[in-house]
Chains A and B, each alone.
Chain A
Amino acid sequence: MNTLGLAWRYLWSRPLSAVLNVLLLALGLASITFLLLVANQVERAFNRDLAGIDVVVGAKGSPMQLILSGVLHLDVPPGNVPLSAVNALKNNPLVAEVIPISLGDNFQGYRIVGTSLAYPQLYAATLAQGRMWDAPMQVVLGATVARTLGLGLGQTFAGSHGLAGGGHAHGDSAYTVVGVLAPVGGVLDRLILTDTASVWKVHEDYTAEDAQDRAAMEEEREVTMALVRYRTPLAAISFPRWVNTSTEMQAAAPALEVTRLLHMLGLGTDVLRAFAGLLLLTAGLGVFIALWSAVRERRGDLVLLRMLGAPPTRIASLLLAEALWLGILASVSGLLLGQLFMAALVYFLGLDSVLLTGGLQWPAELAVVPALALAVSLTAALLPAWGAYRSDVLQLLQTR
C-alpha cells in the first residue's frame, strides 16, 4: 500500500464526510464548468453564424439590432432599405459580394427569409433532399424546420405576416417546398429560405389593387438588409464610414457587435462567477474542517506512524494525498455535473442551434476546473498537513 492507497482508505473510512466534501467542492466546480461551457457555446454559436459576413447594411437604428435580426435571426429588424440602394453597394470596388435578406413573414414561428442562393452557400449548406429554388414561391427548408414541422418535398403552405407565429395568413400565395437542407448546426437550420422576389410577390399580391399600383410598388421594392463580404480586409476601415455618411443606411460589423453583446452578457456571468467562487471558498473550508478534524481524530494513529518510523514529511504527505483525492473526485464529478447542467439547459430551453451549439463539448478552458479543484483542496490541506507534520510526539505519548 502506497501513500495514495492509504490516503484513499483513510478518506473512505468516513464515507459521509468524504461524500459531502466531494459534493460541496463538485457543486462549485460544476457552476464554473457550466459558466465556461455557456460562454464557450454562445461564442461559438455566434462566430459560426457570423461566418464570412464582414458587415451588415440596413436601415438606420441600433447596429446590434441589425446583427441580431439579420445574422442571428433573434430580433426584429429596424426597418427596410430600398433595393436600389442595396444594388448600388455592388458597384463599390471594396465589395466582393452582397447577399440580400428580406424578412417579414413566418410559418409557424419559423422565419421565411427572402435571399439569394449565395446565402446558403455562405454556410456551406448542402441539400438533404430536393433542389434549390429557381423561381419565386419555392422554398428550401432548414433541417430543424423540416423536422419539427414535418414538411416534405412538394408540400405547400402559406406564410403569416410578422416574424413570430400567429400573424395574418397570406392565404392566396402559397409556398412550395422544393428542397430540404442538411443540418449545418447553425442559424440556417431554423430558417425557411426562398427567393427575395417571393417576399415582394406575397406582399404585392396582398396589397396591390391594380396593375398600375403594382408597377408603382415594383419601383419601391425593398429588402431588409444586405450581408456584405469585402474584397479586402482594408475595406473595414473606410466602407462602414462611407455607408454611414453618404447613404441613408447604416453599416454594422457583426464581429464588433457580437463582442459588445458578449461583453454585456459577461456582466451577468460575472455575478454567477462570483457566486461560484463563493461556493468554492465554502467547499475549501469544508475540506479544511474535514482534514483538520481528521488530524485531531487520528492524532494517536499519527503518533503510532511516527513510532513505526514514518518521518513527519511522510505523514504530512498522507494528508496532502487525501486532499488530492478529494480534488480529483470533485474535478470529475464537477465536470460531469456541469455538463449535465448544460445538457439540461439546452434540452429544456430548446436553445440548441439558436444561442448554443449544444452537444457535449470539452473546450480547453475546462482545464481550469481540475486546476481549481486541486488548488482549493491542497490549499485547504496545507494547515492540517502542517499540524500533522508538527504533531508533538512527546506530548501525545503522555496524554492517555
Chain B
Amino acid sequence: MIKTSALQFAYPGAAPLHFPDVDVPQGVTLLLRGPSGSGKSTWLALVAALVPPTAGSLEVAGQNLTALGRVQADAWRARTLGFLPQKLHMSVALTVAQNLGLAFWAAGVAQDRRRVDAALAAVGVAELADRLPEQLSGGQAQRVALARAVLMQPRVIAADEPTASLDDDAAREGLQLLHSTAQRYGATLVIATHDARVGDFFAGPFAVVPGNVQTLRLPRLERLEVAA
C-alpha cells in the first residue's frame, strides 16, 4: 500500500513540487502518469525512500518513510521495493544469475541460487540463468530485469516507463507479465509512464475489479530550473 498526504519535495533553489494525495491499497496497480519533467521520477524516488520529502507524510507498505534514517531506508528498500528501471542496467560483466545476485549483495544477505532460479522461472526465463546480458533479446532482458525486481519478494514493484521503445504487441505482453507477476507476489504495482497505451491496457480487461487500478496524474510543470 502507498499512502501520501500533502507530499512535497523541493530541489535546491527551486519552488517545491506538490504531489496530489494517493491512497493505494496493497495489491492494487497505480499508474503514475504525466509528461516528461512533471516529477514522476521524483515521486518514485520519494516512494523508494531514496530522498526524504520536504514536507507531508508518506507511508509505503505499512512503513512511515519520514521516520526512517538513511541506513534504515536502504535496508527497507532492499526488503520492500522491487524496481524495474527504464534502462535495465544489466551488468555486462555478470551472467543473468549473477545480475540477479546483485540484489542479494545490495541487501547484504547471503547469495541464494535457488531463489534466483525460482524468480527466473516465475517470469518464464529459467533457461537464461547462465547467459550474459549481451546474449539476451530485448524482451528476454526485460523479463530478467523483472525477475531481479521480484527476487526479494517485494511488497511494492515500481516500473519506470516499462513500455518505452516496445511495439504494441510487446508492450501488451510486457504489461501483462508485469501485472500477473505483481499479482503472484501480492505486490502493489506502480507504473510511471507517459505512454497512453498503458492507460488503455489497464482500462481494458485488467480493470474489471473496481478500484483495481488507480491513476495519479501529475500536471505539466511550468517550473524554472535554477542551477544549484
Interface segment, B56-64, B98-106, B171-179, B210-218?
B98-106
Whether A309 and B77, one on each chain, are in contact in the complex, defined by CB atoms closer than 8 angstroms, is yes
Tell me the count of chain B residues lying within 8 A, CB to CB, of chain A. 38
Is there a chain B Cβ closer than 8 Å to A3's Cβ?
A: yes
User: Is B92 in contact with chain A by the CB < 8 A criterion?
Assistant: yes
Q: Is residue A308 within 8 Å, beta carbon to beta carbon, of the partner chain?
A: yes
How many whole Å from A389's CB to the nearest CB in chain B? 12
Nearest residue, chain B, Cβ from A315: B106
A397 to B96, CA, bound (A): 23
1/0 contact string of A10-27 vs chain B (CB within 8 Å): 101100000000000000
Q: A169 vs B176: C-alpha distance in the bound complex, in angstroms?
A: 103
Docked-complex contact A307 and B105, CB < 8 angstroms: no
A309 and B94 form a contact (CB under 8 A): no
Q: Residues of B contacting A10 with CB < 8 Å?
A: 91, 93
Is the Cβ of A308 less than 8 Å from the Cβ of B87? no
A308 to chain B, nearest CB (A): 4
CB distance B107 to A301 under 8 Å? no
The reply on B2 being an interface residue by CB < 8 A is no
- The reply on B89 being an interface residue by CB < 8 A is yes
In the complex, per-residue mask of B11-55: 1 if CB is within 8 Å of any chain A CB, else 0: 000000000000000000000000000000110110010110000
**B3 part of interface (Cβ distance < 8 Å):** no
Q: Count A-side interface residues using an 8 Å CB cutoff.
A: 26
Do most interface residues of chain B lie in helix, strand or loop, or is the interface mixed? helix
A312 CB to closest chain B CB (Å) equals 8
CB of B156 within 8 Å of the partner chain = no
Q: Is B202 an interface residue (CB 8 A)?
A: no
A2 at the interface (CB under 8 A from B): yes
| Residues on B facing A (Cβ under 8 Å) | 41-42, 44-45, 48, 50-51, 70-71, 74-79, 81, 83, 85-87, 89, 91-94, 98, 101-108, 111, 148, 152, 160
| A214 at interface by CB-CB < 8 Å | no
> Quick check: is A314 within 8 A (CB to CB) of the other chain?
yes
- Any chain B CB within 8 A of the CB of A304? yes
What are some 14 contacts across the A-B interface (CB < 8 A)? A1-B98, A300-B87, A303-B89, A304-B89, A304-B102, A305-B106, A306-B106, A309-B74, A309-B103, A309-B106, A309-B152, A311-B70, A394-B41, A397-B41
Give every chain A residue within 8 A of B92 (Cβ-Cβ). 13
| Contact B89 A1, beta carbon cutoff 8 Å | no
Contacts A3-B105, A309-B75, A394-B42 given; does A301 touch B91 at CB 8 Å: yes
Cβ–Cβ contact B106 & A393, under 8 A: no
- Flag if B85 contacts A307 (CB, 8 Å): yes
Contact A308 B45 (CB under 8 A): no
- How long is the Cα–Cα vector from A400 to B86 in the complex, in angstroms? 9
* Cβ contact of B51, chosen from A300, A311, A393, cutoff 8 A: A393
Residues of chain A with a CB closer than 8 A to B48's CB: 307
Known contacts A393-B45, A398-B41, A400-B86; is A306 also within 8 Å of B50 by CB? yes
A57, B71: Cα distance in complex, Å: 77
Interface Cβ pair total, 8 Å cutoff: 92
A14 to chain B, nearest CB (A): 8
A9:B93 contact, CB within 8 angstroms: yes
* A6 pairs with B87, CB closer than 8 A: no
Minimum CB–CB distance for A15 against chain B, Å:
10
Q: Are A309 and B78 in contact (CB under 8 A)?
A: yes
Known: A307-B50, A307-B83, A393-B51. A9 touches B103 (CB 8 A): no
Evaluate contact between B108 and A314: CB separation under 8 angstroms.
yes
Chain B min CB distance to A187 (Å):
56
CB distance B106 to A310 under 8 Å?
yes
Cα distance, A306 to B160, chains bound together (Å):
15
The answer to whether A301 and B79 have CB atoms under 8 Å apart is no
* Distance, CA A304 to CA B87, complexed state (A): 10
Let me know if B89 and A310 touch, CB within 8 A. Answer: no
Output the least CB separation between B52 and chain A (Å): 11
Known: A9-B94, A309-B76. 20 other contacts (CB 8 A): A1-B98, A1-B101, A1-B105, A1-B111, A13-B91, A300-B85, A303-B85, A305-B102, A306-B74, A308-B83, A308-B107, A308-B148, A309-B77, A309-B79, A310-B78, A311-B74, A311-B75, A397-B41, A398-B41, A400-B86
Taking the closest CB of chain A, its distance from the CB of B79, in whole angstroms, is 7
Top 8 nearest A-B pairs (CB, nearest first) are A309-B78, A13-B93, A310-B106, A308-B106, A304-B89, A307-B83, A311-B74, A309-B77
State A339–B39 Cα separation when bound (angstroms).
Answer: 61
B45 to chain A, nearest CB (A): 5
Query: Are A308 and B51 in touch, CB under 8 angstroms?
Result: no
User: How far apart are the CA atoms of A13 and B74 in the complex, in Å?
Assistant: 27
| Residue in chain B with minimal CB distance to A309 | B78
How far is A2 from B81 in the complex, measured between Cα atoms in Å?
A: 22
The one of B70, B78, B94, B160 that contacts A308, using a Cβ cutoff of 8 Å: B78
B149 CB to nearest A CB, Å: 9
Contacts of A9 in B (CB 8 A): 93-94, 98
The answer on a CB contact under 8 Å between B105 and A6 is yes
In A284-307, which residues have CB < 8 Å from any B CB?
298, 300-301, 303-307
List, in ascending order, chain A residues with CB within 8 A of B76's CB: 309
CA distance A397 to B70 in the complex (A): 18
- Expressed in whole angstroms, the minimum distance between the Cβ of A325 and any Cβ of chain B is 13
A2–B160 Cα distance when bound, in Å, is 28
- Residue contact A12 to B93, C-beta cutoff 8 Å: yes
Quote the shortest CB–CB distance from B10 to chain A (angstroms): 12
A308 with B93: CB separation less than 8 A: no
